[in-house]
Amino acid sequence: MEPKKIVDRIERLKREKNAIILAHNYERPEVVDIADVVGGSASLTRAALDTSADMIIVCGVDFMAETVAVLNPDKKVIMPDRGAVCPMAQQLFAEDLLEAKKKNPDAEVLLYMNTYAKAKTLADCVCTSGNALRIAEKMDGGSPIIFGPDRGLSYYVSKRTTKEIITIPEYGYCPVHHQIALEDLLKAKKEHPGVKVVGHPECTPEVQDQMDYIGSTSGIVAYCRDADEAEFLVAAEVGLMHMLKKEAPDKTFYPVSNTTVCTLMKMPTLMKVEEALEKEKQRIVVPKEIAAEARRPIERMLELSL
Ligand code: SF4
């Protein structure tokens, strides 16, 4: 079917079913273009809390849809493709977290949003890449803070806070952002001398150390749009290029690596979105008792990020 016809059907189904579509910045451009809200984890979490829709289609990976379901236990939360399973979220086991808490009884637990609801039930607070540092600073239990599962974000926070950060697991990482090699970045800097480097804190520490601005996907878009400079080297998943060009059409963006693609984020297609709206399969349901406990650290994040 022609894309235009699919888009028309999606719009009609959305109206009929009082549905909204949330899409992460890394989704396919055609999916981003039909979404009601596009952003990083923070924007999508707020949108999930504020919506009066009866059905929420989440174009992102599994932990994002779970978070939306935690915040909307009485709504239909549907993933267009349940195969979009984030490997980073799978790296943190509740048992490891319990063990770390046992070893550090005075520590508070701050978890990256990229975790499953069950792990979130053990957290004092959660955070996104955009607010992790602010939240770590504002947590009132002092130090240390047990943080997981991304060591890139942990490095970013540790470097900028005086609080002791205990990272679990020691080698948690995003396999996509870790593909951005220091050599590629240095080569790109040589090819584009003087051009500012923006990037994501899920990148390796040595790549982060070369950046002029480090932030969430939404933070990178806002920074580039508002900056005086007209050119940027981008160390992030390449899906972000679409949003950057949309928000700052007069500027030029060079991806540090064209192969930095999160194939999981590209799984929802227009046809799958239409099917999700029509058939309402692949619904995400979080058991009520887990949802109630997982909601607590998310609400604390929202309080602390005000
Ligand atoms: S970019 Fe990395 S952290 Fe994000 S969904 Fe893909 S694998 Fe997971």
Residue 227, in any domain of the structure: yes
Residue 74, in any domain of the structure: yes
Distance 268 CA to ligand 1 centre (A): 14
- In CATH, what number is assigned to the domain containing residue 37? 3.40.50.10800
The tokens of 31 are what? Answer: 């999916």
Question: If you take atom 6 of ligand 1, which residue's CA is the nearest one?
Answer: 262
Helix ranges (H only) for the chain are: 3-17, 29-34, 41-50, 62-71, 94-103, 117-120, 132-138, 151-160, 182-191, 205-208, 217-226, 240-247, 270-279, 288-304
Do 106 and 122 belong to one domain?
A: yes
Interval 94-134: pLDDT, tens: 889 999 999 999 999 999 999 999 999 999 999 999 999 99
Do 7 and 41 belong to one domain?
A: yes
Phi first, then psi: what are they for 233, rounded to 5°?
-95, 130
Distance 8 CA to ligand 1 centre (A): 30
* Residue to probe by mutation, ligand 1, list 62, 86, 90, 237, most atoms within 8 Å of CB: 86
* pLDDT, mean of residues 185-210: 98
Question: Which residue has better confidence, 195 or 143?
Answer: 195
Residue 295, in any domain of the structure: no
- The parent domain of residue 190 ranges over 177-255
Domain end (from 173, 196, 226): 173
Do 11 and 36 belong to one domain?
A: yes
Distance 194 CA to ligand 1 centre (A): 29
Do 238 and 218 belong to one domain?
A: yes
Distance 17 CA to ligand 1 centre (A): 30
Interval 37-75: pLDDT, tens: 999 888 899 999 999 999 999 999 999 999 999 999 999
Give this prediction's pTM: 0.93
Number of domains in the chain: 3
The tokens of 218 are what? Answer: 């939404």
Residue 163, in any domain of the structure: yes
pLDDT of residue 171: 86
Do 41 and 25 belong to one domain?
A: yes
Domain end (from 209, 234, 255): 255
Do 93 and 76 belong to one domain?
A: no
Residue 296, in any domain of the structure: no
